[in-house]
Structure 1
Amino acid sequence: MSTGESSTSEVLSTEQMVHLLQHEHHRAIISYFDQKTTDSAVFDDLVEYIVSSDLKRGAKSAERREQVTIELLHSHLPRLADADVLEYDPRSETVRYWGNS
């Protein structure tokens, strides 16, 4: 995972952006920051945001919350961090969005 601020000189290629945006949770995380006009969030707020949109489609809350938590921690946040789109601090359970031009 990324440990420092995103380098503004690194711009994702179109192929990298398409690959990152293929998964609905990646899009949801970026959408969260876009809608909230903030660059940081508590991990649980991101989970709740994704779960609430899933519940609108009929998913079961407790099962879905656990699944989303695991997926974010082990897959989605690391991928977005590796692309320097965000940083996740597990000690403070904070996600900082760097975005990407």
Structure 2
Amino acid sequence: MRETERESATLSAETTPSLDLVFNLLANERRRYALYFLYEQQDGVATVEEVTDNVAAFENRSTGPEPQSDLEEQKRQIQTELRHVHLPKLEDAGILEHDQRSETVRYWTQPTLEEWLEHAYHKELT
């Protein structure tokens, strides 16, 4: 995943999540894909639309491009699921902040989660 360490100015989550919570957060494929993308952002900030597009790209990496109508429907489903399920769950866990007015997401670094996230990324996508 990321080759360089985040700068010291990057904000991090205040508490260390339990291992049970980490594995619960990583258990869902779309949530993992969203975290892979957010972790790669230099400042940890992205729009919900960018997260959606990247989750769709991860899902379609092995099947090739979808027909445009199918891709748009897939993105609508992903975005709805992100807004109503995954982003609130990650926010409740203190992993990110979702500003619904600006439709942006700010990921807070979390070393315990990132250790397992990197492992999952390498097992799943490389």
Q: Name the TM-score, length of structure 2 as normaliser.
A: 0.69
CA RMSD of aligned residues (A): 1.8
In structure 1, which of residues 60, 77, 80 is the aligned counterpart of residue 87 of structure 2?
77
Q: Distance in 1 between matches of 2:107 and 2:85?
A: 16
**Structure 2 unmatched runs, 5+:** 1-10, 112-126
Q: Distance in 1 between matches of 2:12 and 2:105?
A: 13
* Corresponding residue of 2:116: none
Q: Count the aligned residue pairs.
A: 96
In structure 1, which of residues 85, 93, 99 is the aligned counterpart of residue 103 of structure 2?
93
Query: Are 2:57 and 1:52 aligned?
Result: yes
* Corresponding residue of 2:23: 18
Q: Which has the larger radius of gyration?
A: 2
Aligned ranges 1:31-42 → 2 under 5 Å: 31-42=36-47
* Corresponding residue of 2:77: 67
* Corresponding residue of 2:114: none
